[in-house]
Amino acid sequence: MDTTNNNASLETLQDIRSIMDRSARFVSLSGMSGIWAGGVALVGSYIAYQLLQQPAYKYIGKPLDGTPEFFDKFTLHLLLLGMGVFVVALVGAFYFTYKKARKHNHTLWNNASRQLLIQGFFPLLAGGVFSVAFIYYGCGMFVAPVCLVFYGLALISGSRHTLSDIRYLGMLEVVLGCSGLFFPGFGLYFWAIGFGILHIFYGAMMWNKYDK
């Protein structure tokens, strides 16, 4: 009888802890979201690489000095490609996360998910401003490393409201981005590693750990 009561009490405590954990952290983040985002990033990197091989795009650009050529053909195509990759990755990530939340009867929009978005938004916004400034002044070779650094900072900032594994992914992104600043001609490769390979690796690890 005592054993039964102890087991019941233990289960009750575990249920309470689970409820508190869900209210404090967004635990519905799916590992498949990372795998999807990484795959989309690799496809986008491949398309960008093919664009760079075109004769008309065999240059990075020079300081624009505020001329109307700010949105030249090369820059515009890369910006459109980047926006397309972001939207497709975001839609897929939302789908897999929604699917996981529904499977476990979790609320997708709660205080933890709101805090996660708020904490991650400002580093991403700052990174976007830096990227636009670099493009404007003809330093497009630094955009990829800067994106990695600020994306990593966003992950670190938001990690307190979701799975702790995200923090380590953020640290790797920051280290990779800082390294890329010293290899300006290889920004696309750093981009593919950071947004592609690392996402797939961490997504698979999280899927095996939390979703399997």
Transcribe 164-209 into DSSP letters.
THHHHHHHHHHHHHHHHTT-GGGHHHHHIIIIIIHHHHHHHHHIII
pLDDT digits 0-9 by tens, 21-77: 444 455 557 788 889 999 999 999 999 888 888 765 554 444 444 444 445 677 778
C-alpha span between 44 and 108 (Å, rounded)? 28
Distance of CA 50 to the CA centre of its chain: 23
User: Could you tell me if 76 and 61 are in contact, meaning their C-beta atoms sit under 8 angstroms apart?
Assistant: no
User: What global pTM score does this model have?
Assistant: 0.77
Query: What's the average model confidence in pLDDT over 183-189?
Result: 89
Mean pLDDT, residues 130-148 taken together:
87
> Within 53-110, where are the H helices?
73-103
Local structure of 26: helix, strand or coil: strand
